[in-house]
C-alpha cells in the first residue's frame, strides 16, 4: 500500500488528475440525469458519483450482505484521493478490496438492540422506543451521504438510519398520541428545512435520495401541528407548502394534451394529474446489484428505463408492488412512470386544500380561491379518470394503454381518506376493500400474490 505521506505529496497532482478523469467517465456512464450543478443550491453528489468505479466494484463484489451498507459508509478522506489511490492499487498483486474499504471508509455501526422491560403494556413499549429511535444530525462528516437536519428526528430503526418522508407522518401521529408535540414540531421544521434547501422533501435524508420525493404528506403534517398550535402553523409553513406544490407541478404550463413532464401529466381532455418520478435513471446505490440484475433479466427493455421505473416505485413508497408491473411475477416489467396513481393525486388534492386554508389564514383570499379551484379541478379529474365504473372502485390510470386499470389496491381508499369521494362511491370502495383486501392483522396492499 502506498504510504499516506507519499500519496498526499509526491503523487498529489497525478492522483487528482487520475481521479477526475475517472469521475468524469463515471458520471457519463452512470449518471446522465444527475442534478444540474449550475442550480442555485449545489446538490451534494451521491456515493455512486463520488466514488465512480470504486463504488461499482465494491457493490458488485458483494462485500456486504446489505447493499445499503457501503452507500452509507463515510469516506475517511477526500473521495478524489481515495478513488485515485484505488485506481493505482487495484491491479497490483495481492490487492484486497475489503481491506482497502476498511482502511478508507468508516462503515455504519449496527444499531443497539433494544430489550424492553418485562411486563410492559403496548403503550409503555412505544413510549420507551421514542428515545431509542431519536437521532440528531446537525453536523455530519464532509463526505457523508447523510444530510444534516437542524432538529432531532425519529428514524424507523434497523438498517434505516435516516428519516423517511411519508413514514414520518404516521410516526408523528404516534408522537402526538404520546404527547410529544415538541418532537412533532421538530419533525415538521426538518421537512420545511429540506424544502427550502432542496426544493422538495427527498425520499430520505441521504444524498442518494435527493433525486426523488415520496408521497406528499407534508400538508397532513402541518395540519397535524395546527391541531396543537392553531392557524399559526399554517401561516408559518405556507411558503414551504407552496414550494412543495411547485415541485410536483413543475412544467405544467408548457404541457400539451397527451404529454408528460417529470411528475405532471396532462391527459387528452386537458385534465392535469400527477405521477411518481425519479430524476435519475441509474441503479439505486442502496440496491445497486439487485437493480442491475433486474435490468439484465429483461433485455427487451432499455436498462435506463427499468432503472427509472424502479426508482419511481421507490418514490411511491410501494417498493415493490404488483401494482406497478405488467407481470406480477417479473419485476423487470415494472413501468411506474406510465401509471397515474390514485393515492398520489388524492394527496395532492389534500395539499391544494391545505394551501387554500393556509392562504386564507394568512389573509390572502385570492390565493385561497385559486387553490380551491385547483383542488376542485383535480377532484373532477379523479372522479372522471381514476374511477373504475365496471369494478366499482378507485384505481390507477394507465398512460401507455390510455385506460383505467382493473386492479384493486389499498390506494383506492385514499380519495376517502382526503374526503374527495362521493358518498355512493365511498360505500362501494369500502365494500370492495372489506371483501378483497381486509385480512387478519390489517389491510393487504393488493389481492395479488407476487
**What is the tally of helices (H) and strands (E) in the chain?**
18, 14
Distance separating alpha carbons of residues 333 and 300, to the nearest angstrom: 10
Sketch the domain layout of the chain as residue ranges.
4-63+74-106, 276-340
- Cα 267 to the center of its chain, rounded Å: 25
Task: Give which of 410, 406, 407 is closest to 439, Cα–Cα.
Answer: 410
Residue 74: strand, helix, or coil: strand
Q: State the Cα angle at 250 between 247 and 252, rounded to 5°.
A: 145
In whole angstroms, give the CA distance from residue 324 to residue 411.
12
Is omega for the bond preceding 117 within 30 degrees of 0, making it cis? no
Residues pairing with 403 in the sheet:
398
Contact present, 175 and 240 (Cβ < 8 Å)? no
Residue 18 has what pLDDT?
39
DSSP state of 329: T
- The Cα–Cα gap between 211 and 203 comes to 8
pLDDT value at residue 115 = 86
- For residues 355 and 357, what is the distance between their CA atoms, to the nearest angstrom? 5
In this prediction, residue 36 carries a pLDDT of 36
Q: Nine-digit cell at 36? A: 444540474
Cβ contacts of 61 within 8 Å, gap of 6 or more:
97
Q: Is beta strand 264-266 parallel, antiparallel or unpaired with respect to 260-261? A: antiparallel
End-to-end Cα distance, the chain: 48
pLDDT for position 16: 36
Nearest to 231 by CA among 373, 363, 369, 370: 363
Q: Residue 63 is placed in which grid cell?
A: 462485500
31 contacts 280 by C-beta, under 8 angstroms:
yes
CB 104 within 8 A of CB 77: yes
* Cβ-based neighbour number of residue 280 at 10 Å: 24
DSSP letters of 303-315? HHHHHHHHHHHHH
User: Using an 8 Å Cβ cutoff, are 162 and 144 in contact?
Assistant: no
- Reduced to 3 states, what is the DSSP secondary structure of residue 286? helix
Q: What's the pLDDT at 39?
A: 40
Neighbours of 409 (CB within 10 A): 27
Angstrom distance (rounded) from CA 74 to CA 150: 20
CA 247 to centroid of chain Cα atoms: 14
Which region, left, alpha or beta, applies to residue 446 given φ > 0 means left and ψ of -120 to 50 means alpha?
A: beta
Task: Yes or no: say if 410 and 442 are a contact pair by the CB < 8 Å rule.
Answer: no
For the sheet with 339-340, list strands across it: 339-340, 397-398, 403-404
pTM of the model: 0.91
Q: Phi and psi for 404 in degrees, rounded to 5? A: -70, 145
Can you list the residues of the chain whose pLDDT is less than 70? 1-41, 111
Rounded to 5 degrees, φ, ψ at 339 are: -125, 130
165-177 and 181-198 helices, crossing angle to 10°? 160
Q: List the beta bridge partners of residue 397.
A: 340, 404
- In whole angstroms, how large is the CA radius of gyration of the chain? 23
CA angle (325 as vertex; 320, 330 as ends), nearest 5: 85
Alpha carbons 144 and 220: distance in angstroms, whole number: 30
Q: Residue 258: its pLDDT value, please? A: 97
**Distance (Å, whole) CA 221 – CA 94:** 54
E strand residue ranges, 302-401: 339-340, 387-388, 393-394, 397-398
Amino acid at each position: 500500500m502506498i504510504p499516506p505521506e507519499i500519496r498526499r505529496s509526491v503523487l498529489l497532482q497525478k492522483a487528482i488528475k487520475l481521479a477526475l478523469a475517472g469521475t468524469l467517465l463515471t458520471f457519463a456512464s452512470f449518471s446522465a440525469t444527475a442534478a444540474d450543478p449550475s442550480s442555485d443550491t449545489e446538490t451534494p453528489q451521491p456515493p455512486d458519483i463520488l466514488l465512480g468505479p470504486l463504488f461499482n466494484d465494491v457493490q458488485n463484489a458483494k462485500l456486504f450482505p446489505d447493499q445499503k451498507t457501503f452507500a452509507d459508509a463515510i469516506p475517511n478522506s477526500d473521495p478524489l484521493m481515495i478513488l485515485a489511490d484505488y485506481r493505482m492499487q487495484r491491479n497490483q498483486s495481492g490487492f484486497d478490496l475489503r481491506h482497502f474499504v476498511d482502511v478508507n471508509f468508516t462503515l455504519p455501526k449496527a444499531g443497539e438492540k433494544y430489550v424492553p422491560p418485562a411486563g410492559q403494556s403496548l403503550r409503555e413499549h412505544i413510549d420507551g422506543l421514542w428515545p431509542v429511535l431519536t437521532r440528531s444530525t446537525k453536523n455530519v462528516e464532509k463526505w457523508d451521504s447523510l444530510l444534516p437536519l437542524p432538529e432531532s428526528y425519529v428514524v424507523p430503526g434497523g438498517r434505516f438510519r435516516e428519516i423517511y418522508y411519508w413514514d414520518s407522518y404516521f410516526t408523528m401521529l404516534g408522537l402526538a398520541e404520546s404527547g410529544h408535540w415538541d418532537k412533532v414540531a421538530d419533525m415538521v421544521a426538518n421537512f420545511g428545512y429540506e424544502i427550502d434547501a432542496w426544493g422538495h422533501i427527498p425520499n430520505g435524508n441521504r444524498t442518494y435520495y435527493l433525486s426523488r420525493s415520496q408521497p406528499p404528506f407534508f400538508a397532513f403534517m402541518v395540519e397535524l401541528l395546527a391541531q396543537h398550535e392553531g392557524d399559526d402553523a399554517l401561516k408559518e409553513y405556507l411558503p414551504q407548502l407552496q414550494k412543495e406544490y411547485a415541485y410536483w407541478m413543475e412544467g405544467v404550463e408548457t404541457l400539451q394534451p397527451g404529454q408528460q413532464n417529470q411528475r405532471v401529466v396532462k391527459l387528452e381532455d386537458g385534465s392535469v394529474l400527477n405521477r411518481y418520478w425519479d430524476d435519475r435513471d441509474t441503479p439505486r446505490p442502496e440496491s445497486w446489484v439487485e437493480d442491475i440484475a433486474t435490468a439484465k433479466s429483461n433485455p427487451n427493455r432499455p436498462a435506463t428505463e427499468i432503472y427509472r421505473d424502479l426508482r419511481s416505485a421507490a418514490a411511491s413508497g410501494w417498493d415493490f408492488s404488483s401494482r406497478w408491473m405488467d407481470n406480477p411475477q417479473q419485476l423487470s416489467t415494472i413501468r411506474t412512470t406510465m401509471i397515474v396513481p390514485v393515492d398520489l393525486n388524492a394527496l395532492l388534492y389534500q395539499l391544494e386544500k391545505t394551501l387554500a386554508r393556509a392562504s386564507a389564514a394568512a389573509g390572502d383570499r385570492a390565493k385561497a380561491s385559486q387553490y380551491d379551484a385547483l383542488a376542485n379541478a383535480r377532484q373532477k379529474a379523479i372522479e372522471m379518470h381514476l374511477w373504475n365504473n365496471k369494478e366499482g372502485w378507485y384505481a390507477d390510470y394507465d398512460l401507455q394503454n390510455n385506460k383505467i386499470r382493473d386492479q384493486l389496491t389499498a390506494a383506492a381508499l385514499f380519495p376517502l381518506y382526503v374526503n374527495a369521494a362521493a358518498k355512493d362511491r365511498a360505500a362501494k370502495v369500502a365494500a370492495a376493500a372489506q371483501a378483497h383486501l381486509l385480512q387478519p392483522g390489517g389491510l393487504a396492499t393488493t389481492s395479488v400474490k407476487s
